[in-house]
Copies of this chain bind each other. A is one copy, B any other.
Amino acid sequence: MHYDLLPATGGYTDIAIGDLVTEAGVTIPEVSLRLHAFYTATEGDADYAEFSAGPLPGTDLRQRPIILVEHALTGNGNVVDWWEDMVGEGKPIDTNRYLVLCANVLGGCDGSTGPSSPHPDGKAWGSRFPGLSIRDMVTAEKKMLEVLGITQVHAIIGASMGGARTLEWTLMYPDTVLAALPIAVSARASAWQIGIQSTQIRFIEADPHWQGGDYYGTGLTPSEGMGQARRIAHLTYRGELEIDERFGTDPQVGENPLGPYRSPDQRFAVESYLDLHAERLKKRFDPGTYAVLTDALNRHDVGRGRNGMNAALGSSQVPTMVVGVDTDILYPLHQQEHLSRNLGDFIGLSKITSPTGHDGFLIESRQMGQILVKFLGKVEQLSAKPVE
């Protein structure tokens, strides 16, 4: 392993992985992925302490197992930001024990090559950026590991779009992965998901600022369309019980949604909440990336070219534990039950019980943490087994 290429703990670095040919046959030249790394120096481990101060050529992280975390649609490589209770010193994914890696996905807008990053001609990729599949993202990540000289990953963990990549990892590169934990995901996109996701893409493309996808550098961004998409998406991420407990039919403070005339300025509290989430995403996320990644979710299907979904799952040789949330309407629990029935090396199904819906993996820290501890305990047992 080329530890000199790793960033300092908590930092990131861009890993150039060369050209990538997509599943549908388009070559993306000069791809790079932005990689974040997390590993805590422990007392009595001078090497680590030194190393944690920055990337030191030749420093060896020795036997530290590697955990690759896969982020969801609008996440990024900075896993301690969006999963702070799960990753860190003494936390379920313990940076005292593990070297934790998390890269911004191919097509992303947080440092990796995507529609908003420069094409070799210097202008943004824009509409020239091809359609991606989940497999293309995994292909890029495998290339990244190759550049880093990493041949074995202790565990791959991811939820939602990260769960889709996790599943594909187990099928595309089983020799690289000791164990996997796909969370709140399915073997393939359901028609309902494709329906609601493709509609979100249309909101973005219907925004007059979209300009066929080539809005970069024009000073106009299809943020309104992405905001509309986010409002709908957020309602698929959250359970109706949780949202109702928080907002019910409350009016937004100072506004009257029951007034004589309907008005966008007179909102229920939940409308204001959705506005807030839409505004937040508009500030931090690129609509072109939102469209490309959402489309990749539509294309998610482990069965493609592998004799169908169940044959593909059955062929899996990677010990895989599955997690679902009982109130998830985007990836309903029956989809994780389906994975459980069909995976070739299934080691358990854990259910998060919560009114929160899909986002339970982000919100229910106690339950999610217990599941991670249980899973990683199992993987330690697996890795301790003598090679047959």
Assess whether A199 is in contact with B249, with CB atoms less than 8 Å apart.
Answer: no
Chain B residue at minimal CB-CB distance from A205: B264
Assess whether B188 is in contact with A203, with CB atoms less than 8 Å apart.
Answer: no
Whether A190 contacts B243 in the complex (CB less than 8 A), given A22-B260, A26-B261, A202-B228, comes out as yes
Within 8 Å CB of A260, what residues of B? 22, 24-26, 130-131
Whether A262 contacts B295 in the complex (CB less than 8 A), given A194-B271, A249-B188, A249-B301, comes out as yes
Assess whether A192 is in contact with B228, with CB atoms less than 8 Å apart.
Answer: no
- A119 CB, min distance to chain B CBs, angstroms: 14
Assess whether B291 is in contact with A195, with CB atoms less than 8 Å apart.
Answer: no
Assess whether A190 is in contact with B131, with CB atoms less than 8 Å apart.
Answer: no
Whether A258 contacts B133 in the complex (CB less than 8 A), given A203-B228, A264-B205, comes out as yes
Contact of A298 among B193, B194, B268, B301 (CB under 8 A): B268
- A206 CB, min distance to chain B CBs, angstroms: 7
Assess whether A259 is in contact with B195, with CB atoms less than 8 Å apart.
Answer: no
Assess whether A259 is in contact with B131, with CB atoms less than 8 Å apart.
Answer: yes
A189 on interface, CB distance cutoff 8 Å: yes
- Considering only CB atoms and an 8 Å cut-off, how many residues of chain A contact the other chain? 66
Assess whether A189 is in contact with B249, with CB atoms less than 8 Å apart.
Answer: yes
| Additional A-B contacts beyond A198-B267, A262-B291, A262-B292 (10; CB < 8 A) | A24-B258, A24-B259, A188-B249, A191-B246, A192-B235, A195-B231, A195-B271, A199-B235, A241-B334, A258-B304
Would you list 27 pairs from A and B whose C-beta atoms are within 8 A, ordered by A residue?
A23-B258, A26-B260, A127-B261, A131-B258, A133-B258, A190-B240, A190-B248, A191-B244, A191-B249, A191-B269, A192-B243, A192-B244, A194-B247, A194-B271, A195-B243, A195-B271, A198-B268, A199-B228, A199-B231, A203-B228, A205-B264, A206-B228, A208-B208, A257-B298, A258-B299, A262-B291, A268-B298
7 closest Cβ contacts across the A-B interface?
A192-B240, A191-B247, A191-B270, A24-B260, A131-B262, A190-B244, A191-B244
* Chain A interfacial positions (CB closer than 8 Å to B): 22-26, 127, 130-131, 133, 188-196, 198-199, 201-203, 205-206, 208, 224, 228, 231-232, 234-235, 238-241, 243-244, 246-249, 257-262, 264, 267-271, 273-274, 291-292, 295, 298-299, 301, 304, 329, 332, 334
